Amino acid sequence: DTEVTQTPKHLVMGMTNKKSLKCEQHMGHRAMYWYKQKAKKPPELMFVYSYEKLSINESVPSRFSPECPNSSLLNLHLHALQPEDSALYLCASSPGVEWAEQYFGPGTRLTVT
């Protein structure tokens, strides 16, 4: 099974809302990633978790708060977002950060109104 699942598929939220994105994998992978992709642009790395610990934060604003409750789950908590945060949010996992053959979920399309 090489599947990474993400929920929800679509999310519309106001600038004062709090919401969470969820990502799950059951491949036994020890590294998990969040990416942000704007229209017609390549994905951009946001966070990297290795063995459930945050190892890379690419200077992401604090209104995005990642969480890795266990080795299979990755959350992204959203609070006080801006309209320019509207994008496709992609989750990925890999066996590790050194052997980083990444598998991506289908993404969550987020619209901030």
Partner 1 sequence: GIQVEQSPPDLILQEGANSTLRCNFSDSVNNLQWFHQNPWGQLINLFYIPSGTKQNGRLSATTVATERYSLLYISSSQTTDSGVYFCAVDASGTYKYIFGTGTRLKVLA
Give the binding site for partner 1 (CB under 8 A): 2, 33, 37, 42-45, 48, 50, 55-56, 58, 88, 90, 92, 97-104, 106-107, 109
Contact 71, 80 (CB under 8 A): no
Q: Strands, DSSP E only, in 26-101?
A: 31-37, 44-50, 53-57, 64-70, 73-79, 87-94
Residue 58 in tokens: 């690419």
Q: Give the amino acid at 61.
A: P
Choose between 14 and 58: whose C-beta lies nearer to partner 1: 58
Choose between 38 and 77: whose C-beta lies nearer to partner 1: 38
Choose between 19 and 103: whose C-beta lies nearer to partner 1: 103
CB of 52 to partner 1, least distance (A): 15
